[in-house]
Amino acid sequence: MSTFTSKTSISKPINEVYSFLADFNNHQQLMPDTIQEWVSDADEASFSIPNMAKLLLKIDSRTTDEEIVIVPAAKAPFDLKLKWSLSFNNNHTDVLFTIDAELSMMLRMLASGPLQKLADHETQSLNTILS
């Protein structure tokens, strides 16, 4: 299992950050411009990554003001789990975004850089949107 993480701190109450992340419709704003064909509702999103794959993801679990877990809703090119973990400290919300991916050696060489960039892009976008 390969794990990619990115952290940020947002000067907002934890319930505001959680409410934004708990609705999959908001996640399009966190994605890079290269993501295409985005379709979502509160619980699921489908989109395509040019020259790679089309993904259908769903929110698997929500723990109010703590965690949101996202998994594939249909067969993905590899096993994948995305997790947003939240904690509130001294008037700001700490956010940890984790991507766990079951990558073969070949995929690890090809996908590690883009997956880390995706994790970093999503936390930076979240910080920009909510700050």
Indicate the fold that domain 2-130 takes in CATH. Alpha-D-Glucose-1,6-Bisphosphate; Chain A, domain 4 (3.30.530)
Amino acid symbol at 29: Q
pLDDT digits (tens, 9 = 90+) for 107-123: 889 889 989 999 999 99
Q: Please, what sign has the CA dihedral across residues 112, 44, 23, 32?
A: positive
Overall pTM surpassing 0.95 (yes/no): no
Q: What is the average pLDDT value for the chain, to the nearest integer? A: 94
Coil, helix or strand for 118?
helix
Give dist(CA 54, CA 8) in Å, integer.
28
pLDDT digits (tens, 9 = 90+) for 77-92: 889 999 999 999 989 9
Domains of the chain, residue spans: 2-130
pLDDT band of residue 50 (cuts 50, 70, 90) is confident
Residue 47 contacts residue 35 (beta carbons within 8 Å): yes
Per DSSP, the residues of 47-97 read EEETTTEEEEEEEEEEETTTEEEEEESS--SS-EEEEEEEEEETTEEEEEE
